[in-house]
Chain A
Amino acid sequence: MTAPQVGDELPPRTIDSVSVERMKTMAVVLDDPNPIHLDPAAAKALGLGDRVINQGPTGVGYLLDMLAAAFPGATVRKVELRFLANVLAGDKVVAAGRVAAVEDDEVTCELWLDVEGGPRAISGRGALILGGS
């Protein structure tokens, strides 16, 4: 994207099916053995449904990758995100955004991660510096 304008929609990034195997890898990367991400019985015991729950930071990563693809060569300066709902194994999720402000070489975007047919999982804003650090 060149010369971003306020209101521009960012190209969405879709994960067709959140993978149980990738949650296991993420548990190692995060060094977080919380069983709600690994064992459906653990999620069920806490009243969180019958599927394992994707790690919240993974959704942040989907949004960061969506931003990087929308603004090649830009450097992320800040993201502020609220976690609103869980993403479950097998869910299809879409990371998307819209340009909210442009000031010199800094672009601020509204960001969100939606579960297809379900709730908004993450909402917030991100700011980037165009053209590198």
Chain B
Amino acid sequence: MAVPGLENLPGRELPAGSFTIDAVENADLATVLEGPPPGGDEAHPLWAYIATQRGIDISVAELCALADFDVADGPMLGSTELTYGGPLKVGVDYEVKGEILDIVRKEGQSGTFDILTFRERLLDAEGAEAAAATNTFILPRRPA
């Protein structure tokens, strides 16, 4: 079901930005995940999620506001799809572009909620897609 007042949101481009994966933060991520220390210039593949979120020039709060949702009301990450053109690299400048794909309204046991789907991409210097993240946020609509 379309969301009243937000019919024109799908297809909206998000403000582009850029991101460079830092070697120290890549090592910090390995520590968080209790995984092996990074070797060489290869970045952990989870940076497909992190770098798109940090690099796009709009905050999560601002993204929620586009969907007429207050981030203080608790958006939830519903799903993520990460795709890769190849390994991500530390120290490489990536351009970050994104767009809103969809917003639909659902009714569940806990009440009304919207599912916001958006896609953000990391592009290398040649414009090739190095990685992309397609995420859904679940936005619970509290009774007025």
Contact = CB atoms under 8 A, between A and B. Distances in A.
B65 interface: no
A18 to B, nearest CB: 10
B84 A60 contact: no
Contacts of B34: 15, 22
Interface band, chain A: 20 to 34
Interface band, chain B: 20 to 34
B53 interface: yes
B28 A29 contact: yes
A120 to B, nearest CB: 14
A71 to B, nearest CB: 12
A132 B29 CA distance: 22
A83 B33 contact: no
B82 interface: yes
B66 interface: no
A15 B44 CA distance: 18
Dominant SS among interface residues on chain B: mixed
Contacts of B28: 25, 28-29
Interface stretch (B6-14, B70-78, B100-108, B119-127): B70-78
A64 B45 contact: yes
Interface in B41-84: 44-46, 49-50, 53-54, 60, 74, 76-84
A90 interface: no
Contact of A78 (B36, B44, B76, B84): B84
A30 B77 contact: no
A30 B82 contact: no
Given A58-B32, A75-B86, A29 B50 contact: yes
B54 to A, nearest CB: 5
Interface in A71-124: 75-83, 124
Interface of B: 25, 28-29, 31-36, 44-46, 49-50, 53-54, 60, 74, 76-84, 86-87
16 contacts: A29-B29, A32-B53, A32-B60, A58-B33, A61-B29, A64-B44, A75-B86, A77-B83, A78-B83, A79-B80, A79-B81, A81-B79, A81-B81, A83-B76, A83-B78, A124-B79
